[in-house]
Amino acid sequence: MKIKDKSRIVLGCMRISGMEPKERERLIMTAYESGINYFDHADIYGGGVSEEVFAHTFEQLSLKREEVILQSKCGIREGMYDFSREYILTAVDKILGRLKTDYLDVLLLHRPDALCEPEEVAEAFSQLHKKGKVLHFGVSNHNHYQIELLRKYVKQDILFNQLQFSIMHTGMIDAGLNVNMKVENSVDHDGGVMDYCRLHGITIQAWSPFQYGFFEGVFLENDGFPELNRTIDRIADKYGVTNSAVAIAWILRHPAGIQAVIGTTNPNRVKDISLAEGFNLSRKEWYEIYLAAGNKLP
């Protein structure tokens, strides 16, 4: 499958290692039948078990490898991050073995490595690409200068950047709306990474799309956010979808062409969320939700 045919919604497979086999089959098949053809992994998810059980389930379902996009990440090790050439090459070989595939559609470098030597990353990427082990590359949780440093040396395009983003985690948008203001939301924590990615054709992948804070909890049906939930529920009723579909539609509405990475293991929720690709929020509705989350326009 060509990367341009990717689904806007990605099924994150971090939690599938603890599922029963039949439940896992239903989850993956529901995602696939709902139009989700993109599956996100990382070598640390379940200590590698998530990739192993995904591969087994994939075989049981008799799905065709060329009809899905498999993405994995590497770079996080116990007590450190590692973007060394040797580690990247070794990590990818192990990922391919666990996923029982000859190639990854996409490899992302996980959290930035402070000791990153971009020349080594470039060597690793070129070797993986030349041998057909990885078709496309990206990063995760990187700012624009970190990506620029890689782009100076890496021959392949950096096509993805996975970043935390949700209705309740909007720093990438806030700073752009509050330029030259002396308010909290004017602080640019991300170095203009959203606009940078748009300028360079890099797809942002939003992780934790239902979370507020850093894994503090979900905002949907949370009594701590009454106005936000009333607004989302009203819009959900209008479109005949669930609140989770509206939360994802809010992300997809942004013209940056963001993908949303969902981590649910509930097949029914996957089916409900997949409906987010079937409707577009109006500009007014998008801003209503943004303001209901506690934001202010200058």
Q: 241 lies in a domain?
A: no
The CATH code of the domain that includes 133 is 3.20.20.100
Q: HSE on the CB side for 128, CA within 13 Å?
A: 33
Asked if residue 160 belongs to a domain, the reply is: yes
Residue 226, in any domain of the structure: no
**Average pLDDT across the chain, whole number:** 96
Q: For 82-117, how does the pLDDT look when each residue is reduced to its tens digit (9 = 90+)?
A: 999 999 999 999 999 999 999 999 999 999 999 999
Residue 215 has pLDDT above 80, yes or no: no
* Residue 99 located in a structural domain: yes
The arithmetic mean of pLDDT across residues 4-30, rounded, is 96
Residue 292's pLDDT band (cuts 50, 70, 90) = very high
User: What tens digit of pLDDT does each residue of 54-93 get?
Assistant: 999 999 998 999 999 999 999 999 999 999 999 999 999 9
- pLDDT of 225: 96
Which residue has better confidence, 276 or 4? Answer: 276
What pLDDT is stored for residue 1 in this prediction?
A: 78
Domains identified in the chain, total number: 1
Mean pLDDT (whole number) for 148-159: 98
pLDDT reading at 216 higher than 90: no
Is the CB of residue 154 less than 8 Å from the CB of residue 113? no
Give the list of residues 6+ apart from residue 89 with CB closer than 8 angstroms, or none: 124, 127, 128
Domain with 9 in it: 3-164
Residue whose C-alpha is closest to residue 69's, from 43, 31, 97: 31
What whole-number percentage of the chain has pLDDT above 90? 93
Look at residue 298 in the predicted model and tell me its pLDDT: 93
Residue 137 has pLDDT above 80, yes or no: yes
Is 55 within 8 Å of 24 (Cβ atoms)? no
pLDDT at 3: 86
**What span, in angstroms and rounded, lies between the C-alpha atoms of 199 and 290?**
24
pLDDT per position as a tens digit, 199-214:
999 999 999 999 998 7
pLDDT at 241 over 80: yes
Considering the domain boundaries, does residue 122 fall inside one? yes
Please name which of 47, 164, 153, 34 lies closest in space to residue 98, comparing C-alpha atoms.
47
| pLDDT at position 181 | 86
pLDDT, residue 182, reads 86
pLDDT at 138: 98
CB 10 within 8 A of CB 39: yes
Task: Please report which confidence band the pLDDT of residue 231 belongs to, taking 50, 70 and 90 as the band edges.
Answer: very high
Q: In this structure, are residues 221 and 243 in contact, taking their beta carbons and an 8 Å threshold?
A: yes
Active site residues: 45
The answer to whether position 30 is within a domain reads yes
Tell me the pLDDT band of 278, cut-offs 50, 70 and 90.
very high
pLDDT digits (tens, 9 = 90+) for 181-196: 888 888 888 889 999 9
